[in-house]
Amino acid sequence: MKKCLLLGNGGREAVIAEYISKGFSLYSVLPYENPSIVEAVKNSGGKYIIGSPFDKELVKNFIEEEKLEICVVSSDNLLQDGLIDLAKSLGLKVFGPTSKGAKVEWSKTYALEIVNKLAPEVIIKNYNVKTIEELNEAISKYKDENFVIKPEGLTGGKGVKVGGVHFSTKEEGYEYAKSCLEESGTVIVQDKIEGSEFTVMCLTDGKNVVPMPITFDYPYRYEEDKGPGTGGMGCMSYPNGLLPFLTKEDVDACAELMQKTICYLNKDNIEFTGVLYGGFFKTKDGIKFIEFNARFGDPEAINVLNALETPFTEVIENIINGTLTKENCKFKTTYTFTVYVVSKDYAVKANKEATIFKLDEKEIKNAGVKIYFANAKKIEENTYTSVSNSRLFAIATSGENFEEIRQKVYDTIEKNVDKILDYRKDIGKIYVH
C-alpha cells in the first residue's frame, strides 16, 4: 500500500484522513492527538508522531525514515509556509500547491490581479490601498458604511469585515482598514454588493479541472448570519451539484475562470495541484468574484468528500499522475449536511481556559451520523478538551431527503452534545445579503 503523509489537524483533515485511510497507509505529524486522524492512521496501518507540522526538520526526518511517497496538504498556513515545496524537494508526489501557487490565497491583491486579467467582468469595484493617503481617498468615495475591508494575508476566515454587519459607521470601517494597513502594508477596500454567496471547489492535477458539488457555507457566528466571521459554522450541498439560486451556466462560468486560473498559475512550472476554492456571489448583475483559497474549505471538505463516489485515493493517484478527468472523479447525487460544534466563546472572546466537555462518540456514530474532530483531544473515556479557541468537532451526514438528514444531525446534537457547547441552529437556510 502507498504511504501517504497528511499534514494539518482540523475537521477538514479529519475527513481527508478518513478517505485516505481507505486506500493508502496514512502518516501524520500532529501537534496533538486529533481523535479522528489518530483513528484513521491506526485503521490504515500507518503511523503518526506528535510535533509541529511547521517544523521542517521534523517533517523531513519523518518522510525519510518512513519512506513516505505522497504528501497531501490542505491547510492555508502550511501551504504558505512551503510544506508542499519541502515534500516535492524530497521526491514525494504532491496534492496541494507550492507556496508560490498558494499565493492566490495568501495575497488577496495577487488573486484580484489574476481575475482582473482573466475575467474582468466578475471583479467588484475595489481599491488596493498601500498608503494612508490612498486609504483616505478610497474611503472618501463612500457616503456611508457600505463598503468591505479585506486584509491582504491569511486570517482564517475572520479578517474580512462588512459594513453594516461587522462595523456600523464609516469611521469604524476606516479604523479597521487603518489597522490592517499598519499590519501588512496593504488593505483592500471594496464595494459592498448584494447577493447570495456560494463556493465552487475544483480538484486539479495542474492542467485538468473537475468541479465538485457547489457548497453553501455559514461564515457568521450566530443564527440569521449575525455576529463575527468564523472559519465556518456549517455547510450543505445538493444532489444536482448546484444550489437553489444557481444555474448550470452560473457554475460553468465560475469553473471556466478557475480552469484559466490553473493554466495561468502553472504556465511556467506546475505550482498548483489539489483544490482551488473559489468564493463567488450571485448578484442581479451576474456572478461576482470574492476570493480564491488554495485548498479544500473547512467544513466544505466534509460535505464534498462524503459526496465523492470515486475512492478519494484513486482521485489522488490521478492528480499526481496528471490524468484527472470528470469520468475518473465522480460524485454521488446526494444532499450533504454538516454542523460545527464550538465553545460558547468561539470567535467572540479569547478564552484562556480550555473547554472540557463530555461526549459519547459511540452514541453519535450509532445515530447514523459521522463525527469529525477538529481542535479537540480526548483526555479520558467520553471526556475531551479543546486545544485552542477554534472549532471543536463537526457532525455530518448525507442522504436523499434533505429534511431527514438535517433533522438527524440536529437530533443527534441535541441529544448528545454537552450543553456547555454551542452551534448554529439554522444551518440549511439560504441567506441573501
Q: CB-wise, 23 or 232, nearer to ligand GLY?
A: 232
Q: How far apart are CA 13 and CA 345, in angstroms?
A: 23
Q: How far apart are CA 429 and CA 432, in angstroms?
A: 10
CB proximity list for 344: less than 8 A, separation 6 or greater: 420, 421, 422
327: its cell numbers: 469520468
Provide the minimum distance between the beta carbon of 332 and ligand GLY in the complex, in angstroms, as a whole number.
Answer: 22
Q: CB-wise, 231 or 274, nearer to ligand GLY?
A: 231
* Residue 204 contacts residue 262 (beta carbons within 8 Å): yes
Binding site for ligand GLY (CB under 6 A): 157, 217, 231-232, 293, 297-298, 300
Provide the minimum distance between the beta carbon of 39 and ligand GLY in the complex, in angstroms, as a whole number.
Answer: 23
Q: Regarding beta strands 196-204 and 274-283, do their DSSP bridges make them parallel or antiparallel, or are they unpaired?
A: antiparallel
Provide the minimum distance between the beta carbon of 157 and ligand GLY in the complex, in angstroms, as a whole number.
Answer: 5
Provide the minimum distance between the beta carbon of 294 and ligand GLY in the complex, in angstroms, as a whole number.
Answer: 10
Question: Closest-CB residue for ligand GLY?
Answer: 232
Q: CB-wise, 174 or 296, nearer to ligand GLY?
A: 296
Provide the minimum distance between the beta carbon of 362 and ligand GLY in the complex, in angstroms, as a whole number.
Answer: 29
Q: CB-wise, 213 or 232, nearer to ligand GLY?
A: 232
Q: CB-wise, 152 or 300, nearer to ligand GLY?
A: 300
Nearest to 87 by CA among 5, 204, 206: 5
Alpha helices, DSSP H only, in 101-169?
A: 103-106, 108-118, 132-140
* Residue 267 contacts residue 204 (beta carbons within 8 Å): no
Q: CB-wise, 135 or 347, nearer to ligand GLY?
A: 347
Nearest to 85 by CA among 69, 68, 67, 73: 73
Provide the minimum distance between the beta carbon of 431 and ligand GLY in the complex, in angstroms, as a whole number.
Answer: 15
